[in-house]
Amino acid sequence: GYYPLNGNANDVTSYANNGVMTSITSATGRCGESNTALSFNGTSSFVEIPDASQIRPEYLTLSVWVKPTSKSSQHIIGKSVFATSQNEQFSLGFNYPGVEGQGIYGGVKTNVPNACSTPGNYFALARSTEPIATNEWQLILMTFDGTTVKTYRNEVLIKTTQNSATTIANCL
């Protein structure tokens, strides 16, 4: 999917896997134009996109522009049951929970027995140690090619992790 986040959470591809926004307001984007970004409150804001076959990938690229206002742990993009974190499949964010002060992380749930029933475990994570910058726009990105998870900040590779499993767990 492709989500410009220009006042809504609509997927502008032909798949139309549109999201539903909760506790989110429109904001000025990185180029200074009104209504070209979304503002999340850091605690209860989220966009939920219903499950669809197009978002159960074998390989994956996640990319998002962010302008964090604090260094608290933030889960930016992920696939799971939001309320319970069950059935996780992939995740991109910064300051991994429980490891404050760390940088960007990206990961995929490895396809091993019991992986889907244990939130937070069995992830192949590429996590940087460089703290995230606050109050400035930055591009964060994660790729998974079937064997390697890579995270980038502003188009610079910052961490690579080999995955022992070659597929993303299909938990849903």
What digits encode the pLDDT tens for the residues 35-67? 999 998 888 888 888 888 787 777 889 899 999
Where are the strands (E) in the chain, listed by range? 20-22, 24-27, 37-40, 46-48, 60-66, 74-79, 90-94, 104-109, 123-127, 138-144, 148-153, 156-162
What is the predicted pLDDT for the residue at 43? 83
Kindly report, residue by residue over 56-98, the tens digit of the pLDDT. 777 889 899 999 988 777 778 877 665 565 565 777 888 765 5
Strand arrangement, sheet containing 148-153: 60-66, 138-144, 148-153, 156-162
H helices, E strands: number in the chain:
0, 12
* Confidence at 16, pLDDT banded by 50, 70, 90: very high
What is the average pLDDT across 136-147? 90
What is the predicted pLDDT for the residue at 22? 92
What is the predicted pLDDT for the residue at 2? 92
Kindly report, residue by residue over 113-138, the tens digit of the pLDDT. 666 666 666 667 788 877 788 899 99
